[in-house]
Amino acid sequence: MALQYVDNRDGCECSIAGLQDSTGRAMGLMPHPERFLLPRHHYDKDWAGNEDWGWGYFLFKSAFDALK
């Protein structure tokens, strides 16, 4: 298990928020980072993000920059 929810909103087993394989190279996250490319996509409509991009964008950008 890679990550656990602090506040288990969706009731998943053992509060699992992320999994990875034994090599650490393959990882799955919940909620899906591609779902939050823009702040308006965030599930919490009261979220006061003032950025042009949501946190999912920054996750993918950092991976892209690391591979570049």
17-62 pLDDT per residue, tens: 788 888 877 778 777 777 778 777 776 656 555 567 777 888 889 9
Q: pLDDT tier at 65 (50, 70, 90 boundaries)?
A: very high
Owning domain of residue 37 = 33-68
Q: What is the pLDDT of residue 29?
A: 76
Q: What total of structural domains would you count in the chain? A: 2
Same domain, 66 and 40: yes
pTM above 0.75, yes or no: no
pLDDT the model gives residue 2: 67
Both 20 and 38 in one domain: the answer is no
For residues 39 and 66, membership in a common domain is answered with yes
Query: Is 45 in the same domain as 17?
Result: no
| Paired residues of 19 in beta bridges | 28
63 lies in the same domain as 42: yes
Q: Are 9 and 25 in contact (CB under 8 A)?
A: no
Is there a single domain that holds both residue 1 and residue 24? yes
Distances (CA, A) of 13 to 16, 17, 27, 32: 6, 10, 17, 17
